[in-house]
Amino acid sequence: MTSTATREIVQFDNVGLRYGTDREVLSDVSFTLFPGSFYFLTGASGAGKTSLLKLLYLAQRPSRGMIRMFGTDAITLPRERLPGFRRRFGVVFQDFRLVAHLSAFDNVALPLRVAGVAERDLAKPVADMLEWVGLTERMHAQPAQLSGGEQQRVAIARAVIHRPEMLIADEPTGNVDPDMAIKLLRLFEALNRLGTTVVVATHDVHLLKKVPESLIMRLDKGRLSDPTGALRYPPRLRPRASSAELED
């Protein structure tokens, strides 16, 4: 095994995905994600961004090809080991996927509860995270009582509350105003500086310019192009930030 292989956090090799007997929505997708990098996944609507993200957060198995995650073959990964892998991700779903009957606080606390964090230990981080996304006043509101932008912020808070090794976000700024979008991107960047690999799917080209050091993967009709060479060459690792910087 080469030294590069040991640094890879995710490796896709000729991955294809089809639903049922339909044509492939992803074809011959090959790329490597390195720890501490910031990736934008772009492409037109229907290009396969969400399908690719589903493969990344292990909600879907590919129809063909090879996927390695954290040095392990993710395709033959036994089902019992999936939860352990999934806890290393944070996912912001395009449709938020908040639990409808839980409050904003309980939705954000969910990954910590799933990981077995005691109630007394989760109150402060959850409250802090809600404060950061500007939802302290709304922490007891249920998703149906929140606006689209507020729901999105809850979804983002839930995705990052457990400081994941990889953050996967599907159109995370689609429903928030430009100021909040910038603020959320800064949060992603801060997490990235702490070592979290960030993958953000977006079709907002303006967003790409906000993170100059980001690497861009472009999907076109299920095939991946490599405009920045990120998929061919290991990226330059960014300097790590401190936890205090994130909290600031």
Which parts of this chain interact with other proteins (CB under 8 A)?
57-61, 79-80, 82-87, 91, 97, 99-102, 106, 110-111, 113-115, 119, 158
> Which DSSP symbol is given to 141?
-
Query: Cβ of residue 5: shortest distance to other proteins, in angstroms?
Result: 25
**Cα distances (Å, whole numbers) of residue 240 to 156, 192, 230:** 21, 8, 20
Beta carbon nearer to other proteins, 84 or 227:
84
Hey, is 42 helix, strand or coil? strand
Residue 44: Cβ within 10 Å count: 12
Q: Could you give phi then psi for residue 230, rounded to 5 degrees?
A: -65, -30
Q: Cβ closer to other proteins: 86 or 223?
A: 86
What the block records as the tokens of 102 is 């839980």
Comparing CB distances to other proteins, the nearer of 70 and 238 is 70
Smaller CB distance to other proteins: residue 40 or 105? 105
Shortest Å distance, C-beta 209 to other proteins: 31
User: Rounded to the nearest whole angstrom, what is the least distance from the CB of residue 247 to other proteins in the complex?
Assistant: 23
Q: Give the pairing type, strands 197-201 and 215-220.
A: unpaired
Minimum Å gap between C-beta 177 and other proteins is 26
